[in-house]
Amino acid sequence: MFSLFFFPHHWNLCEDRHTARLILGSCPVRKPVPFGLGVHARAGHVLPSFLPIIKQVQQNLEQMPLFDHRSYSGKKKTSPHCKIRSPASSMDGAVRSVWADNFKAESRLLHQIAPAVVHVALNVQYPGCVFVHGNGRNHRDLTAEERYELIRANVALLMPLQVGIAVRTDDGRRFAWEFNLRGFDITSRKHARDPKSVAYLAGCGVDFSRLPRAGIDGYRLRWLLRDSGLIRARPSWATFAGAYHVAYFVTMMYGEKLPHSLNAFMEMARQLIGRPLYDVKRLAREHDRSCVGALSNVVGKLAAVPPGEGISKSKPAGTGSIMALLAFETLKNKLGADMEKYRHELCGLQVV
């Protein structure tokens, strides 16, 4: 058996005879919850619905203190996407930041180039993870089905913040967009988040105060990506440590919750973006066992960034997508036909 733990603002949610123990600081409060989250750890056994526990969590979020992004003055952490920098030029300038006011203009550009796109890289930023495995087992020891249940629980509860899309056309041109999404309101007690992740993203340049008033509605981005011809072009798709990126993308593009089973999820992903889906982290490890760690480390090891370019940290989703694209193109040249055997193997899901 195993249980799930929920950690925003020092909560601890654990199974105890169908009673959840909510710990806020040092003051435990016992509340009855139809938990139903225990499961025998065997392949193919899917967790029961976790919607009742999510409803309980959302109700109790109103008791939680909020992270004040306006008063954030802590030392900014270096983003794992942003360790390679150059004073001469920055890849930040290549990322097109998209909000509601320039969405139409950027949509016209995507419509123009989408039919010629051959490679797409995806990066989604979200306010952390609140459900983690809680029985002491190493993440590597979980089955793919158990990992998927954790992903499904987190994606159901936490809203996406940004979607980064980087593309390469058949004539060698590259474009990258960072779509800032409306939905998550940092001032709302009902919107779950991991405070450390929010502070980290604020330090990386995510404008939390602007998202609710100037962000893009998710359905508009969904319609753009479908109507532009990008999906129909059937390009190769890449991501880095892609389990959560692909899960959020599938949810957004279908406009519904993730299915209960891992197999159904992977089938939805295949129907949406086709078979050529690759995880750069997986490919890099097969190319060179020392090519591990954060995306910036992999990009540096591969020497994938063009000379004179630097990696900025002010657009985390956009920069993450363009770095994944550059790494994917480099690995495709190095691995050749060998990379085909790693299609649809996502790090954090089928592999760790």
Average of per-residue pLDDT values in the chain? 78
The string of DSSP codes covering 66-130 is PP-GGG--SPPPPPTT-----SS--GGGGEEEE-GGGHHHHHHHHHHHGGGEEEEEEEEE-S---
Please list, in sequence order, all residues whose beta carbon lies within 8 angstroms of the beta carbon of residue 208, skipping any fewer than 6 positions away. Answer: 69, 184, 186, 198, 201, 202
pTM score over 0.85: no
Residue-wise pLDDT for 28-80, tens only, equals: 322 322 223 333 333 333 344 455 555 555 555 544 445 444 444 334 443 44
Give the pLDDT score at 307: 67
For residues 251 and 258, the answer to whether their CB atoms sit within 8 Å is yes
Q: Is residue 260 within 8 Å of 44, Cβ to Cβ?
A: no
| N- to C-terminal Cα separation, the chain | 21
Question: Tell me: the pLDDT tens digits for 267-280?
Answer: 999 999 987 999 99
The CA distance from 339 to 332, in Å, is 7
Question: SS3 of 166, please?
Answer: strand
Q: What is the pLDDT of residue 88?
A: 31
pLDDT attached to residue 318? 94
Give the residue ranges of the chain where pLDDT is below 50.
1-49, 62-65, 67-90, 92
Q: Nearest-CA neighbor of 206 among 65, 94, 66, 69?
A: 69
Contact 312, 85 (CB under 8 A): yes
For residue 132, give the H/E element and its range. Answer: strand 131-133
Backbone φ, ψ for residue 121 (5° rounding): -120, 140
Beta-carbon contacts of 54 under 8 Å, excluding residues fewer than 6 positions away, are 153, 156, 157
Question: In the prediction, which pLDDT does 77 show?
Answer: 41
